[in-house]
Chains A and B, each alone.
Chain A
Amino acid sequence: MTDVLLTVGTRKGLFIGRRRDGAWEFDGPHFNAQAIYSIAIDTRRDTPGCSSAATARTGAPRCSTPTIWVRPGSSPSNRR
């Protein structure tokens, strides 16, 4: 099973999960008590540790260390 990075932005911090060999592990919260409304995982760069080589089945880029962008906020709204 393909390894996956899953980022979960919540009203009170960021949680990061990794699925390796089919098993999920999470850590967090990062940015404790801050609302995480936006996350981007950037897999474009062909840098050391980050390969754009095609996977066997999908041709999708895979990075061992993609860049994760987050923008914590401190004024969470009750609606969205």
Chain B
Amino acid sequence: MFHSDDLGATWVEPKQPAVKFPQFTEASLERVWQLHPAGPEAPDVVYAGTEPAALFRSEDGGESFELVRPLWEHPTRSKWVPGGGGEGLHTILTDPRDPRAVTVAVSTAGVFRTKDGGESWAPANRGVSAVFLPDPDPEFGQCVHKVTRDAADPDRLYLQNHWGVFRSDDSGDSWTDIGEGLPSDFGFAAAAHPHRGETAYIFPITADSDRVPADRRCRVFRTSDAGRTWEPLSSGLPQGAHYGTVLRDALCTDDADPAGVYFGNRNGEVFASADDGDTWQQLLSHLPDVLCVRAALIG
């Protein structure tokens, strides 16, 4: 794990590996899938989601991390299985109202929540489909690809599933299908608008067996009414047939108003919008596959 305090000019690595599985787990770190600084109420707390699927918590600004053992030892864990990219804990959402409330998502185990700072965890997948399982509505085992939190209502979450786009209005107690109107409800990425409630972005993919943009068109879809309707955004994006798949962490927003929206794809292209997604410009091309993008205001 490296960090930079000078916009990437220099990098510092802790003397000891920051994220390391304790010996009793008999596991070793394959990959850090997610890094998530907690909210401003906990300025020294940073979370890391890993493969094998586990949550680590740092209380010293990311210098060292400790395994969140109750999730690692969750009674359902023996039935978690790797998704196509591995068994990764890829989503970490902290709650701006309560630093003890954390939501995570795992491929393939689904959404899990704690309300007590990580001491206990419960699945939160009611209503999220698992079309690849004999029981299409299990308590856990869903292949959730990404979850994001609404800017105005902390109880409202948006979820891009392995088939299906869902919304929860109760912090994950239950989920409602909001995929109607999309060209495909398969996809990987999801990002909420930083300020505007009921507004989120996804990038539909044709199918799990055909991982290219839906209709072979490079389009971000935006909802401005919490998933009741969806609007394709393509002004400034390539207009011909397009094959650039957007992965789960390769779509993000910044905190500006209007919001900056960014995505990269497996063609090595990066696009940006400075007006909530209404219009776009291509920033980069011919990069290696883009795996993740993150943006922030600087001044």
Contacts and interface: CB of A to CB of B under 8 A. Distances in A.
Contact of B291 (A1, A10, A31, A67): A10
B268 interface: yes
Contact of B297 (A10, A30, A61): A61
B291 A60 contact: no
Interface residues of A, number: 57
Nearest to B194: A60
Contact of A69 (B2, B247, B257, B288): B2
Interface in A26-59: 26-27, 30-31, 35-45, 51-52, 55, 57-58
B262 A37 contact: no
Interface stretch (B3-11, B72-80, B133-141, B159-167): B3-11
Nearest to A31: B2
B296 interface: yes
B270 to A, nearest CB: 6
Contacts of A13: 288
Nearest to B252: A6
B260 interface: yes
A5 to B, nearest CB: 5
A62 B209 CA distance: 42
Nearest to A44: B43
B198 interface: no
B292 A61 contact: no
Interface in B243-297: 247-249, 254-257, 260, 262, 264, 268, 270, 272, 274, 283-284, 287-297
Interface stretch (B31-39, B179-187, B225-233): B31-39
A4 B254 contact: yes
Contacts of A45: 43, 61
B298 A4 contact: yes
B2 A70 contact: yes
Contacts of A6: 262, 270, 272, 283, 293-295
Residue in A24, A61, A77 whose Cβ sees the most chain B Cβ within 10 Å: A77
Contact of A2 (B6, B195, B284, B297): B297
A3 to B, nearest CB: 5
Contacts of A1: 274
Residue in A67, A71, A75 whose Cβ sees the most chain B Cβ within 10 Å: A71
Contact of A4 (B48, B247, B295): B295
A37 to B, nearest CB: 5
A52 to B, nearest CB: 8
B85 interface: yes
B52 to A, nearest CB: 13
Contacts of A62: 297-299
Contacts of B256: 2, 4, 58, 60
24 contacts: A2-B299, A4-B297, A6-B270, A6-B294, A6-B295, A8-B270, A8-B284, A14-B8, A18-B7, A24-B272, A24-B283, A30-B8, A38-B292, A45-B43, A52-B40, A58-B257, A64-B298, A65-B7, A68-B7, A71-B1, A75-B30, A77-B86, A79-B84, A80-B86
Interface of B: 1-8, 11, 19, 30-37, 39-40, 43, 46, 48-49, 61-62, 84-86, 188, 194-195, 247-249, 254-257, 260, 262, 264, 268, 270, 272, 274, 283-284, 287-299
